[in-house]
Amino acid sequence: MEKLLDKFLRYVSVDTMSDPESETQPSSERQFNLLRMLRDELEAMGIKAELDEFGYVMATIPSNIEKEVPAIGFIAHVDTSPDASGADIKPQIIENYQGGDIMLNAEKDIVLRVSDFPEMQNYIGKTMITTDGTTLLGADDKGGVAAIMYAAQYLMEHPEVKHGEIKIGFTPDEEIGRGVAKFDVKKFGAKYAYTIDGGEIGELEYENFNAAGAKIHIQGANIHPGYAKGKMVNSMQIAMEFNAMLPVDQRPEFTCGYEGFYHLTDIKGTVEETSMQYIIRDHDRAKFEEKKSLIVSIGEFLNKKYNGAVTVDVKHQYYNMRQEVEPHYFIVEKAIKAIEMAGIKPKVQPIRGGTDGANLSFMGLPCPNIFAGGHNFHGKYEYVPLESMEKASEVILNIISLFSE
């Protein structure tokens, strides 16, 4: 069998950054480069696979048992976050990590410090894969892609392992909230599924944020400052006023657990014109709706004050999957048992984010989320222990075994 590490390194070498400003599906043509690679690798294993025009790879491993068991799907996304460069990734591999800080880039003095990320000490003796300090790594979610592909390879090379029908799906654009916008659940054919898109080893999630995005546009009026009295409208000042009206303690850096937030992700401005973008998150549906309403009401208040200068556009992204998964809680229980079978303590917790599984659950495919092993996603401090990805693959095989009993 090809090593999981080799698969992972091959996948992260392909730039698959999604583009939130694009209206195409997928949002960036470069994602097709990895999607085609995965389709071809599946076909080379003897697994029937196809890639459609929307960037979905769907594949099937037929059942090899006589009794009828539900078809189970495993899904991961190929795109990387636009928050940091996903091009020309140069992973560093630290075998038998002995603890302590890891120098990512000596020239720029970028260091992965235990004082900042104390969980690093949990991986002493493991093989750590890090960035070189200039890009993200792509373990979100190429760690999940590699774990699924490794499990698929194992099944094809070990026909003695009994299993029901297995469905494999790879999606684009998860990082910009459009991962399954055109996903055909009926065509996919799974009764239940799992996304392999979580973080550290042991994580299992079946509830996530309710999510929305807000775009704010502020139209000012630029007048020579020497003659500006009563005439100038500085759009940047209004933008700062808008942001100051949001509760400070509901920013990401001050929240955890089930606490929601407003996150200013982008701001560009001049005196004449300023644009801002927020993401709005909360696990509680009522609080989520309140957060969206506050964004709108601030815009309305400032419009009265500044004569219609502010435009607010709030768009829904996804809802909390818990209400769709709980009626099928046995699929969570099987995942818990599968993690325990791998010698890992399950960490059942809410996702402070979202996965394709959230929207899939509302599309009729209950879809909890399982760890892929990585830490510090979306930036230069991202890392993943190789052994965590290997355990994710083992959990996939355990779930398949449990559904086949």
Which residues are designated catalytic?
Answer: 79, 174
Instruction: Tell which residue, 249, 258, 251, 315, has the closest CA to residue 285.
Output: 258
Q: Which helix (H) or strand (E) holds 250?
A: none
Contact by Cβ (8 Å): 31, 79: yes
Nearest 5°: phi and psi at 320? -65, 120
**Beta strand ranges found along 180-239 (DSSP E):** 192-198, 203-205, 210-219
Report the DSSP beta bridge partners of residue 211: 281, 318
Which residue's entry shows tokens 């401090």? 381
Half-sphere exposure of 393 (CA within 13 A, CB side): 23
* SS3 state at 45: helix
Q: What is the spatial distance between Cα 353 and Cα 141, in angstroms, rounded to a whole number?
A: 14
H helix runs in 102-234, sequence order: 139-157, 185-188
Q: What is the spatial distance between Cα 104 and Cα 91, in angstroms, rounded to a whole number?
A: 10
